[in-house]
Amino acid sequence: MVNKFIRRFYTFLIFGFLYAPIAVLAVFSFNDSKSTAKWEGFTLDWYQSLFSNNYIMKSLYYTVLVALIASVVATIIGTFAAFGLFYMKSWKQKAILNVNSIPILNPDIVTGVSLMTLFVALNVNLGLLTMIIAHVTFCIPYVVLSVLPKLKQMPGEMLEAALDLGATPWYAFKKVIFPEIKPGIITGALIAFTLSIDDFVISFFTTGNGVSNLSIAIYSMARRGIKPEINALSTLMFLTVLVLMLILNKRTKIEEI
Amino acid sequence: MLKKLASGPYLFWIAMFIIVPILMILFFSMVTVESDGSYTFTVSNYVRAFDPIYVTVLLRSLKIAVQATLICLVLGYPMAMILAKMDPRYRTTAVMLFVVPMWMNFLLRTYAWMTILGKNGVLNGILSFFGLPQMTFLYSEGAVLLGMVYNFLPFMVLPIYTVLMKMDKSLIEAAEDLGGNKKTVFTKVVLPLSLPGILSGVSMVFMPAVSTFVISNLLYGGQYMLVGNLIEQQFLVVNDWHFGSAVAMILMLLILVSMAVMNKLGGSGVEEKGVNLW
Amino acid sequence: MKKIFAVVLLVVLMASLFTGCSNSDQVVLNVYNWGDYIDEDIFQQFEEETGIKINYETYATNEEMYTKINKGGTQYDIAIPSEYMIEKMIKEDLLEPIDLTKIPNYANIDDQFKNLSFDPNNQYSVPYFWGTVGIIYNTNLIDGPIDSWDVLWDEQYARQFTMVDSQRDSIMVALKKLGYSMNTKNLDELEEAKQALIEQKPLVLAYVGDNVKDMLISEEASMAVVWSGEASAVIQEYDYFEYALPKEGSNMWFDNIVIPKGAKNIDAAHQFIDFLSRGDIGFLNADYVGYATCNIETMKLIDPALIGTTYAYPDKNLLENFEIFQDPGDFIVEYDRIWTELKAK
């Protein structure tokens, strides 16, 4: 009983910690002042000026576009990579995993600058394409690291068993392996999407020519103090994500049943 | 066949976009540009990096990153366990709710803490409501630490949770049946088995923490230099890519070594062959 | 799960179709500017008048802009650096010459901003805004008079003020306080400035760039070293702030419009510079950003109350000891070293 109470209380505290700053942003998005410190009355003005701000809207579009493409591409490449790695010779797997961990261990700023150096050397114009490539690059390792433990926890020789029973490799992958590693793939995809949408440093170095994501937009705008439009945007983003998650959550449950 | 082909695109990708760029940075760190534009090999960039001033910066970064990682682990592990043990009806929703804040922009989340910790922020508002004196929370090492923990906590919880979820529950039951009390079961069974998750979590928190420059800039107002700030400054303000590359290479090496050490420590307690992540 | 991916892929596909719709024949001008340093509504007007579309991107410091342009991978048609950076870029051949005959509105620019030492014949740059660096303070919280850099070393104001997170400006403050030139190449003087800054560091609340105005308005800080336009923006909204120009002198800066090397649309860039130099457009920008215009026609439209204020158009005699930054060339490494050492302490 006490145990359960402590557990609830702890959960409550952690979630409170996670959501408090978001709540603050949300509250101040209705503040009738440019200040994010003083409450000076209720307004919806910031939402209106948000939608008429071209720069923010364009950055939002690029952020979502890049995050979607990068997380999907990274998840697909990363899942198959984990699968291939799992069946590789141990030393080979180890060597590749070490390379795999470089973007994770490496400071973002070095990843960003090194990629920029590469793009510049290859004479590729910095922009949307280079940003997507950079995002895929730093997302893949997380997908691999999320999926590989799942494969390793899988009861041994499952693929062989399926193949012996006459399944084609693709069929065996789809029906035997995939269900086992699905939670890992979902975690990986979620992490990839989150990292991509959140990224500032790497994007900052690998984009150019007017293509900027939300982080860069916020960073540049913040030169003149934070804009309440951004508070409004984060509130909307939060609600969208929340609703989307809840819908997906419901959907998966029905599918499972 | 499928097994081999599966990792093909991946191998190409990491060769092209991970290995080659790193080699380029390595090259940069070992040369200087002469006035006629030609490159000369030199160790001067590395020698400069071992000046006491820069060593202090490096140590400071390592210290705060370790602190942030430990706090995340201490806060995150129980949370992952609670999530894993949760009634399946609520669990998915709880995990989703846990992920949602991460979808908010990183800079915004850090800015939000500025409003909370600020002189006229929410926290001081609460203090003054109870008649307590106002305090300066912002522009301190504590604020930077808090910002790191807030931003990176989910990266600790999710991998641990994933591993705990997949853990064979019968092992725990067996241990309990064999007379292990809660503490023994946890330290002898659950904890060792969740080590891969912990290792992933630690690396996912430690790295961004050690390399960040935005958090320290915003929550400590730019007079607090971490190694991330140093590299950023070299690349953006000073435009000395050679020294910046040298610092980056040193940092990279240091991280790889510490990860290898951690791997040794973690690996010894685990008998199962497949658990070793690195 | 498959369904989720299908939905995601569909969204991506639709999104890419959406991008594909933009008209490719249209001339697109890539403008690279300081964040929030232009009234973006004028882009629309420019497009209507000329049919040229603006692709807009921003930077936070001169150095950031320089890095992007210098290292390549981008093609900007317009940028707006400050004087010492223009000097550096001219030296390094990073700018396209400007044909002033294609910019009739150049006549609107006040002569005192033309032919300055960093670009003697305005071969490479056209003036945009100018301003100063000074001290803004909250009169409710700080008892004046504030008229000297010395206050930033006064225990009385400990942890109440902010410095600028810009190496040249912060070192400038120390040099000026000590009575030296802010363009000094004397190592002893610089070393003295460094010691002064190290001594000052415990008193500083923060070194800020981006968010100084918020900090002032929220009373996080009561006093700050700022660029004049930031002061202007704060004071016009909250009249209990004042902006002081220190008697020891300070930095007087000029931001000019340039065409970076490698620009693709040089003609369109000239058209845009001409557009920006128009009186009415200059007024829209000046009104929006709060900095002081270099344009005679714009001056006629400016609120007369601004003339004579310290933060917008100060009296000449207040600017006596003011200097203009010069590009220190290779000597910049010494500034870099001092700044790094100060920050690392």
Closest listed residue to residue C155, CA positions, set C219, C202, C212, C207: C202
Measure CB to CB from residue A223 to each of C3, C12, C36 and give the nearest one.
C36
Chains touching chain A through at least 3 C-beta pairs below 8 angstroms are B, C
pLDDT digits (tens, 9 = 90+) for B59-74: 999 999 999 999 999 9
Report the distance separating Cα A240 and Cα A246, nearest Å: 10
Alpha helices in chain B (DSSP H): 2-6, 8-14, 20-29, 44-49, 52-85, 88-99, 106-117, 122-129, 141-166, 169-177, 182-184, 191-193, 195-211, 214-219, 227-232, 241-268
Q: Are B251 and B245 in contact (CB under 8 A)?
A: no
Residue B268 is predicted with a pLDDT of 35
Closest listed residue to residue A198, CA positions, set A142, A154, A155: A142
Chosen from A209, A214, A255, A256 to mutate, greatest number of chain C CBs within 10 A: A209
Query: CB distance B153–A18 less than 8 Å?
Result: yes
Residue B159, preceding peptide bond in cis (omega within 30° of 0): no
Query: In A, which residues are within 8 Å of B213 by CB distance?
Result: 109, 201
Query: CB distance C162–B221 less than 8 Å?
Result: yes
Query: In B, which residues are within 8 Å of A113 by CB distance?
Result: 25, 235, 241, 244, 248
Measure CB to CB from residue B222 to each of C61, C208, C218 and give the nearest one.
C208
**Radius of gyration over every alpha carbon of chain B, rounded to an integer in angstroms:** 23
Long-range contacts of B135-138 (CB under 8 A, 24+ apart): B136/C159, B138/B114, B138/B219, B138/B221, B138/C220
pLDDT digits (tens, 9 = 90+) for A79-106: 888 888 888 888 888 888 888 888 877 7
Q: With residue C32 as reference, give the H or E element that holds it.
A: strand C28-34
- The whole-number average pLDDT for the span B110-129 is 77
Query: CB distance A145–B197 less than 8 Å?
Result: no
Q: Are A35 and C233 in contact (CB under 8 A)?
A: no
Chosen from B18, B165, B240 to mutate, greatest number of chain A CBs within 10 A: B18
| CA dihedral for C110, C112, C117, C120, sign (positive or negative) | positive
For A181, nearest residue in chain B (alpha carbons): B166
| CA dihedral for A27, A31, A37, A38, sign (positive or negative) | negative
Report the distance separating Cα B125 and Cα B122, nearest Å: 5
Residue C70 is predicted with a pLDDT of 80
Q: What is the least distance, in Å, from the CA of A114 to any CA of chain B? A: 5
**Radius of gyration over every alpha carbon of chain A, rounded to an integer in angstroms:** 22
> Is the domain covering C131-251+315-344 a CATH 3.30.1360.30 domain?
no
Q: Are A147 and A82 in contact (CB under 8 A)?
A: yes
Query: CB distance C30–A210 less than 8 Å?
Result: yes
Chains touching chain B through at least 3 C-beta pairs below 8 angstroms are A, C
Query: In C, which residues are within 8 Å of B222 by CB distance?
Result: 165, 206-209, 343
Query: CB distance C61–B237 less than 8 Å?
Result: yes
Query: CB distance A80–B25 less than 8 Å?
Result: no
Chosen from B223, B227, B235, B241 to mutate, greatest number of chain C CBs within 10 A: B223
Q: Cα A170 to chain center, whole Å?
A: 28
Higher pLDDT, B35 or B23: B23
pLDDT digits (tens, 9 = 90+) for A136-187: 999 999 999 888 888 888 776 777 788 788 888 778 778 887 888 888 888 8
Antiparallel, parallel or unpaired: β B39-41 and B31-33: antiparallel
Q: Are A249 and B138 in contact (CB under 8 A)?
A: no
Antiparallel, parallel or unpaired: β C252-260 and C95-96: antiparallel
Query: CB distance B100–A249 less than 8 Å?
Result: no
- Give the least confident one: A59-68, A206-215, C113-122: A206-215
DSSP sequence for C91-135: HTT-EE---GGG-GGGGGB-GGGSS-TTSTT-SSEEEEEEEEEEE
Q: With residue A105 as reference, give the H or E element that holds it.
A: helix A102-105
Q: Check whether B23 has a pLDDT greater than 70.
A: yes
For C71, nearest residue in chain B (alpha carbons): B239
B105 φ, ψ (degrees, to nearest 5):
-65, 140
Residue A257's pLDDT band (boundaries 50, 70, 90)? very low
Domains C26-130+253-306 and C131-251+315-344 agree in fold: yes
DSSP sequence for C230-257: HHHHHHHH-TTEEEE--TT--BEEEEEE
Topology of the domain covering A54-225:
MetI-like fold (1.10.3720)
Query: In A, which residues are within 8 Å of C16 by CB distance?
Result: 65
Residue A251's pLDDT band (boundaries 50, 70, 90)? low
Closest listed residue to residue A225, CA positions, set C209, C34, C237: C209
Q: Check whether A2 has a pLDDT greater than 80.
A: no
CA angle (B203, B209, B211) in 5-degree steps: 100
Q: At what angle do helices B241-268 and B52-85 cross, to 10 degrees?
A: 40
The ranges assigned to domains in chain A are 54-225
Residue A254 is predicted with a pLDDT of 46
Residue B273 is predicted with a pLDDT of 28
Q: Is the ipTM of this complex over 0.85?
A: no
Query: Could you tell me if C323 lies within 8 Å of chain B, comparing CB atoms?
Result: no
Query: Could you tell me if A248 lies within 8 Å of chain C, comparing CB atoms?
Result: yes
CA distances from C93 to B34, C89, C118, C255, C261 (A): 18, 6, 14, 18, 8
Antiparallel, parallel or unpaired: β C252-260 and C125-138: antiparallel
Query: CB distance C36–A248 less than 8 Å?
Result: no
Residue B2 is predicted with a pLDDT of 62
- What residues contact residue B147 under an 8 Å CB cut-off, 6+ apart? B110, B113, B215, B218, B219
C287 φ, ψ (degrees, to nearest 5):
-65, -35
Query: In B, which residues are within 8 Å of C339 by CB distance?
Result: 233, 237
Measure CB to CB from residue A208 to each of C5, C36, C73 and give the nearest one.
C73
Higher pLDDT, C234 or B267: C234
DSSP sequence for C194-213: HHHHHHHGGGEEEEESTTHH
Chosen from A14, A88, A199 to mutate, greatest number of chain B CBs within 10 A: A14
Question: What are the structural domains of chain B?
Answer: 18-275 (1.10.3720.10)
pLDDT digits (tens, 9 = 90+) for C318-341: 888 899 999 988 888 888 888 888
Report the distance separating Cα C72 and Cα A127, nearest Å: 12
Query: CB distance A55–C9 less than 8 Å?
Result: no
Report the distance separating Cα B221 and Cα B23, nearest Å: 34
Measure CB to CB from residue B120 to each of C207, C218, C332 and give the nearest one.
C218
For C57, nearest residue in chain A (alpha carbons): A210
Residue A38's pLDDT band (boundaries 50, 70, 90)? low
The 10 Å CB-count burial string (b at 16+, else e) for A17-48 is: ebebbbebbbebbbbeebbbbeeeeeeeebbe
Query: In B, which residues are within 8 Å of C67 by CB distance?
Result: 235-236, 239
Q: Which residues pair with C53 in a beta bridge?
A: C28
Helix, strand or coil, per DSSP, at residue C320? coil
pLDDT digits (tens, 9 = 90+) for B183-201: 888 888 888 888 888 988 8
- Taking residue C33's Cβ as centre, other Cβ atoms within 10 Å add up to 22
- Give the least confident one: A65-69, A210-214, C10-14, C31-35: C10-14
The ranges assigned to domains in chain C are 26-130+253-306, 131-251+315-344
- Give the least confident one: B78-87, B267-276, C68-77, C226-235: B267-276
Residue C244 is predicted with a pLDDT of 94
Q: With residue A183 as reference, give the H or E element that holds it.
A: helix A178-198
Closest listed residue to residue C256, CA positions, set C25, C33, C12, C22: C33
Q: Check whether B274 has a pLDDT greater than 50.
A: no
> Is the domain covering C26-130+253-306 a CATH 3.30.413.10 domain?
no
Q: What is the least distance, in Å, from the CA of A1 to any CA of chain C? A: 37
Query: CB distance C73–A119 less than 8 Å?
Result: yes
C74 φ, ψ (degrees, to nearest 5):
-135, 155
User: CB-hemisphere CA count at 13 Å for B211?
Assistant: 28
- Taking residue C336's Cβ as centre, other Cβ atoms within 10 Å add up to 18
Q: Are B158 and B100 in contact (CB under 8 A)?
A: no
Report the distance separating Cα C5 and Cα A72, nearest Å: 8
The 10 Å CB-count burial string (b at 16+, else e) for C236-270 is: beeeebbbbbbebbbbbbbbbbbbbbebebeebbb
**Radius of gyration over every alpha carbon of chain C, rounded to an integer in angstroms:** 22
Q: Which pLDDT tens digits describe chain C residue by residue (345 residues)?
A: 444 545 555 555 455 444 444 445 678 899 999 877 899 889 999 999 999 999 888 777 787 788 778 876 678 999 999 999 999 999 999 999 999 999 999 999 999 999 999 999 999 999 999 999 999 999 999 987 899 999 999 999 998 999 988 888 899 999 999 999 999 999 999 999 999 999 999 999 888 876 788 788 878 889 999 999 889 989 988 999 999 999 999 999 999 999 999 888 999 999 999 999 999 999 999 988 889 999 999 999 998 888 888 888 998 888 888 999 999 888 888 888 888 888 887
Structure tokens at A4: 């359960």
